[in-house]
Structure 1
Amino acid sequence: MAEKRKLAAILVADVVGFSRLASLDEDDTLARFRTVQTDVIIPSVRQHSGRIVKWMGDGALVEFGSVVEAVRCAVEIQDSVKERNADVDDARRMVFRIGVHLGDVIEEEDGDIMGDGVNVAARLEALAAPGAICLSDDAYRFVRSRLEVAVTDLGEAQLKNIAEPMKVYSIEVGAPSRPREVNPTTAKPDEAARPDKPSIAVLPFTNMSGDAEQEYFVDGMVEDIITALSRFDELFVVARNSTFIYKGRAVDVRRVGRELGVRYVLEGSVRKAGERVRITGQLIDAETGAHLWADKYDGRLDDVFALQDEITASVVGILEPTVRKAEIERARRKPAGHIGAYDLYLQALPHLYTIQPDENTIALDLLEQSIALDPNYGPALAHAAWGLVQRVTRAWPPRGADDVAQSVAWARRALAAGGDDAKTVVLGGFALVMLRQDYVVGMEALHRATEINPGSGFVTFIAGCGLMFGDETEAGTTLIERGIALCPKDPNLFVFLATAACGHLFAGEPEAALALAQRSLALNDRTDTIAWVLIAIYDTLGRFDDAKAMARTLLSVAPGVTASHYERVLPMRNPRSRAMVIDALRRAGVPD
């Protein structure tokens, strides 16, 4: 058999302090170790379909086709050894460390294996506490939903002779290891457990140019995409060292989805012609093989890093809403008895994003159901707070007795529960700023959200909007326009444009504001927001007839609305900016 490269789960086990034990009683130590070999390790490995590659003095190197079975085997070994030590005095107890990793290995003709997969497992074994099991992030992802074991997150560790830091987990041995309940009619032996949130793998792009130098460019871009997607807390993104094992291989996307435990796979190619390069990408549903999105990007290689950044931003900007749309459809198809807080939250989103009063009511009903199921679910709390901001700051009827107080309460709970979820943080801060309730906490949250995930068009826009209305006009407008660049096809682009127009108006640039406002009006002429923005712009430019015509449009869109109402609810922190709008409304004929 010629040497071959493959993906395998690697277990490395070693006795703690074997030399010390041997120095106390060599014959007894060797005899007890051989007993553990024959009575514990060999039967357990066999039971879990593993292969003992070799014995290494007082340790073992074992290969498995399934990381779930490798971890079950490790837990079983540690439990058995612990039982055997119950009647042995402390000085003579034989205790093992075990490391488990899923990675790329090379199998030689004699059956031995080597490579990074083996090296990482060995380093994890060395990190493990006596009697414990250390798992790499790649191994843990496959077992966390399959085994009921107590796990401690040890954070990132710099393993010896391994280039990149790796997240490490430790299993607390002693609790029983039970398989997760799965449907026997649908479970597949090679299928990894999928996390609850949407999961995606970015495969290495295919170099079709015949130019080996382009490998560095393409691999760098794929790594950038993985890094950028990893900032979206609502996405589970497979690490580079798991996806790059498919480099140079023809793959079945559905099989990749099963092996990596992901719902979505992004793949692509690069083709170079002279000084120009074309990148194509496509997002595929790994369960059905259906194409959800495809596009191409052309550019010059004059500045490789700028081109990488441009393509990464474009791809990430479209992937987030595409995956969100697919997840919403998935939630809609779920049977009523299986709907949870996450599904209700997803179902609410398309109603909330329409920014229409009746749809807003439907969204808030769904979000309140989600919050009832999980009172600390940050995304539902944050979006519910945003839903009430939509109502309060527009000419819409109120939902409850005190929508401002309810929105603020939800926003504070969202910020307390949100952690590092950029959307939760940005919407919590947005509500506090737009309702003029807590500028200190709100503005800090807006800034923090853009630091957590600068690649999200939604986060960028919402943060920019809050900052602009919070009187950081220049910084806010810059972020709003970046949000527009990241989300050029967003269905709410008319809102982005109208808000950008406000920013330019408040900055003393009414001509630039007018161009943006007219683009917004062309996309949606039935919203009161763009009407009052245009009235203020026309008034500033001295186009009073146009302002009066737009006031009539406003009153047809929002019958009975008054200038006094807007004076109470508009979110401008700067009193001069608010007065500019309110005075313009009154001059244009909006009743007081």
Structure 2
Amino acid sequence: MAAGVGTSVESHGEEANRPGRSLEIRLLGPMAIRRDGVDLKLPGSRKVRSLLAYLALSPRPRGRTQLCDLLWDIPDDPRGELRWCLSKIRSLIGEQRVTTDGDAVGLELSDCFVDAIEAATAYQHGFKTQTIDQLRALAGLFAGDFHEGSSLERSPAFETWLVSQRRRLRDIHAALLEHMVQRLPPEEAHAYLDRWIQLAPFDFRPHELLLISIAKAGRFREGEEHLEATTKLFRAEGINERPLHDVWQTARTQTDETFPPRQISASAVPASSSRDTETFPREPRRPSIAIMPFNELSAVAAPGGPSDALAYDIITRLAKLRSFHVIAQGTMFALRERRHTVDETARLLGVDYIVDGSFQRIGDRIIVRVELTEARTARIAWTDVFERRVADTFLLLDEIGSRIVVSIEREVETIESNRALLKAPNSLDAWEAHHRGLWHMYRFTKSDNEKAQHFFERAIGLDPTFARAHAGLSFTHFQSAFQHWSDRDTEADLAYRAASQSMMADELDPTAHLAMGRALWLRTLHDQSVGELQQAVELSPSFAIAHYSLAFVQSQSGDPWAAVVAADHSRALSPFDPLLFGMLASRALALVRLGSIEEAADWGIKAAARPNAHAHILAIATLCLSIAGRLSEAKAYLAMLHVRYPAYRLDDFMSAFHFPSADQLLFRQGAKRIGLD
């Protein structure tokens, strides 16, 4: 198996951070390769070095077409150039380490030392599992930015991936330095604190810790100088420096008991998990959210019970969506004992949104009350009560947790979109432009789709590594192809290209796999499409649109029973989703293929009644009614369709969907009965 980020490398214990392996690949800084302790001369070709870096970090083998798209713009012979690059890599690291499986290419590096993988693996396991010596060795691996000095200006997909990896590994580096500052004695911690500030000069926390440390040592002049310099830096970037002044004033007046001599990090900075939320990327901006432990109202309550399990579940599911900065569970449960109010918690953590609620078990019933509060306005944005009879508590908590997470995501997305609408387009940051694009995207008209493209492209221009903006752009091209607003083949290629960019930016973002699944469906690659959509669901089980997209694909050319299940699950997760019409229509199509024609017609009617239902949805209702023999109703819906879309014909419907031959015949017969030619 090819080694990659996230692969568990066998390097625990005292050997965790010692190379000691025959082949070493250094990517944290300028690339360097060492075999048996001897530095090797690197190929002069940047393409070869970049291909090696990409394959070294890939968690699985990659198709040759994907590699060609990644590294070459419009070469004369991309596969020939790829073969030449692979031959150079074989000569460098060994023939046996370049593996092929059909069309896929990978590297077998499980017995090798790759510094970037070593750092990422330690981060995933948690830095607290490492000894102090191992932490020092890890810090020593960071000799610069990832793959420093390499750039392929004519390969935008690779550049997107490269910038994304650099950001991710810088975050790991910052998280490591933060952890070391908290664990090491003050005299040694200062050096790592300085490195942290150099790495993340706009991060509030290292400056705060430094000011506290300087005040504790009585070096007040040094503190004033640092505060002055940092204030100028923050103001130049439009960052509020006032909290730093508050920290400094408090630190100068605190007693020795407040800041123990052996600690730089005390209660002034909320504790954070070494894995969940130690360091957040600065761009694109994401809303931050904290999930407070639920107030247990049951007669018999104890820590670690179902209410805590529900809070843990919500934190984990929201983090998997990758659209929020989620405060780690360790911080939230540590704060429980302080009994802060919602407003106090929001101010303490500096978050945009707070979720709190209560949990009560009465007999065989569970009652969960939840509130989502927008911190800046102290307004309750959403509230709900979930009451269920329970046989299996934790299965029920899974269902309630899913509903809560989907509702939170939808409400926050609405708030962020509405806020972005109030700003002038030229003043939007990447996050705001992305949400402005989402608002137009869900109108499902040609003009709004074009506006959505504009805003997604603006978001990408502001931050080329914003995976969700690339995914949104891919969806607009999908819509253009599916709705026949532009040339289908051209739009399908653009949808695939944007989805690929999204995957390069963040392969763990479920929206990237969603975009790729839809793009592959446009290319009539059913099995690959289903695979990507299933990956989106695995990454985020509460991702309602991914479940719907599985229903969409399976309802036409796959397993119709699976489509019904996926459609029902997507509706259960998000009963007021803007794509609800699609969920209902996919169920109708699946039922036609299962022979439940009358039921299919009823579901088609429900789909057509939803807001934003477009031409194809009306056509589904029309054809399902006709196939069911309900001709008068079918003709009424056909008239409605032609009032809104006068040029709509059967060919528009048949070319939009991918039905097997037998099912195509069924729809053609239905169209013939009502004169839809």
For this structure pair, what is the TM-score category when the shorter chain's length is used for normalisation?
0.5 to 0.7
* Alignment-derived partner of residue 269 in structure 1: 358
Deviates more, 1:581-590 or 1:351-360: 581-590
* Alignment-derived partner of residue 321 in structure 1: 410
| In structure 2, C-alpha distance between the alignment counterparts of 1:149 and 1:406, rounded to whole Å | 31
1:198-241 deviation digits (Å, cap 9, x = unpaired): 22111111112342258612111111212222211112222211
Q: 2:135 aligns with which of 120, 125, 128?
A: 128
Letter in 1 for 2:336: K
1:419 positional shift: 0.6
Letter in 2 for 1:412: S
Map 1:85-164; keep pairs closer than 5 Å.
125=132, 127-129=134-136, 132=139, 151=173
Q: 1:425 aligns with which of 506, 513, 535?
A: 513
Q: 1:550 aligns with which of 620, 637, 658?
A: 637
Size of the aligned set, in residue pairs, is 446
Map 1:386-401; keep pairs closer than 5 Å.
386-394=475-483, 397-398=485-486
1:122 positional shift: 9.8
1:235 lines up with 2:324 in the alignment:
yes
Map 1:2-151; keep pairs closer than 5 Å.
125=132, 127-129=134-136, 132=139, 151=173
Give secondary structure in 2 for the equivalent of 1:402: helix
Deviates more, 1:199-208 or 1:385-394: 385-394
Q: How high is the TM-score relative to the length of structure 1?
A: 0.67
| In structure 2, C-alpha distance between the alignment counterparts of 1:256 and 1:381, rounded to whole Å | 34
Letter in 1 for 2:372: L
| In structure 2, C-alpha distance between the alignment counterparts of 1:290 and 1:174, rounded to whole Å | 36
Letter in 2 for 1:386: F
| In structure 1, C-alpha distance between the alignment counterparts of 2:303 and 2:392, rounded to whole Å | 13
Letter in 1 for 2:486: P
Q: 1:455 aligns with which of 534, 542, 546?
A: 542
| In structure 1, C-alpha distance between the alignment counterparts of 2:500 and 2:622, rounded to whole Å | 34
Give secondary structure in 1 for the equivalent of 2:321: coil
Larger relative strand fraction: 1
Going from structure 1 to structure 2, the CA distance change for 1:335 and 1:557 (only over 3 Å counts) comes to closer
1:361 lines up with 2:450 in the alignment:
yes
**Contact preservation (8 Å) 1:532, 1:581:** no
Letter in 2 for 1:263: D
**Contact preservation (8 Å) 2:582, 2:607:** yes
* Alignment-derived partner of residue 404 in structure 1: 492
**Contact preservation (8 Å) 1:379, 1:414:** yes
* Alignment-derived partner of residue 561 in structure 1: 648
Going from structure 1 to structure 2, the CA distance change for 1:505 and 1:356 (only over 3 Å counts) comes to same
Map 1:286-305; keep pairs closer than 5 Å.
286-305=375-394
1:533 lines up with 2:620 in the alignment:
yes
* Alignment-derived partner of residue 74 in structure 1: none
1:490 positional shift: 1.8
1:271 positional shift: 3.0
Letter in 1 for 2:495: S
Map 1:277-292; keep pairs closer than 5 Å.
277-292=366-381
Q: 2:605 aligns with which of 484, 494, 518?
A: 518
Give secondary structure in 2 for the equivalent of 1:523: coil
- Give me the identity figure in percent: 23
Over the aligned positions, Cα root-mean-square deviation in angstroms equals 3.5
1:484 positional shift: 0.5
| In structure 2, C-alpha distance between the alignment counterparts of 1:363 and 1:226, rounded to whole Å | 30
Going from structure 1 to structure 2, the CA distance change for 1:149 and 1:564 (only over 3 Å counts) comes to closer
1:506 lines up with 2:528 in the alignment:
no
Going from structure 1 to structure 2, the CA distance change for 1:251 and 1:438 (only over 3 Å counts) comes to same
Give secondary structure in 2 for the equivalent of 1:292: strand
* Alignment-derived partner of residue 589 in structure 1: 675
**Contact preservation (8 Å) 1:351, 1:359:** yes
Larger relative helix fraction: 2
**Contact preservation (8 Å) 1:217, 1:304:** yes
* Alignment-derived partner of residue 377 in structure 1: 466
| In structure 2, C-alpha distance between the alignment counterparts of 1:330 and 1:552, rounded to whole Å | 39
* Alignment-derived partner of residue 240 in structure 2: 183
| In structure 1, C-alpha distance between the alignment counterparts of 2:280 and 2:493, rounded to whole Å | 39
| In structure 2, C-alpha distance between the alignment counterparts of 1:579 and 1:414, rounded to whole Å | 38
| In structure 1, C-alpha distance between the alignment counterparts of 2:303 and 2:288, rounded to whole Å | 28
Give secondary structure in 1 for the equivalent of 2:448: helix
**Contact preservation (8 Å) 1:457, 1:484:** yes
- The structure with the larger Rg is 1
| In structure 2, C-alpha distance between the alignment counterparts of 1:398 and 1:467, rounded to whole Å | 25
| In structure 1, C-alpha distance between the alignment counterparts of 2:510 and 2:172, rounded to whole Å | 28
Give secondary structure in 2 for the equivalent of 1:565: helix
| In structure 1, C-alpha distance between the alignment counterparts of 2:525 and 2:390, rounded to whole Å | 48
Going from structure 1 to structure 2, the CA distance change for 1:374 and 1:122 (only over 3 Å counts) comes to closer
1:283 positional shift: 0.9
| In structure 1, C-alpha distance between the alignment counterparts of 2:510 and 2:675, rounded to whole Å | 42
Going from structure 1 to structure 2, the CA distance change for 1:531 and 1:297 (only over 3 Å counts) comes to same
Give secondary structure in 2 for the equivalent of 1:267: strand
| In structure 2, C-alpha distance between the alignment counterparts of 1:550 and 1:175, rounded to whole Å | 65
* Alignment-derived partner of residue 428 in structure 2: 339
**Contact preservation (8 Å) 2:552, 2:582:** no
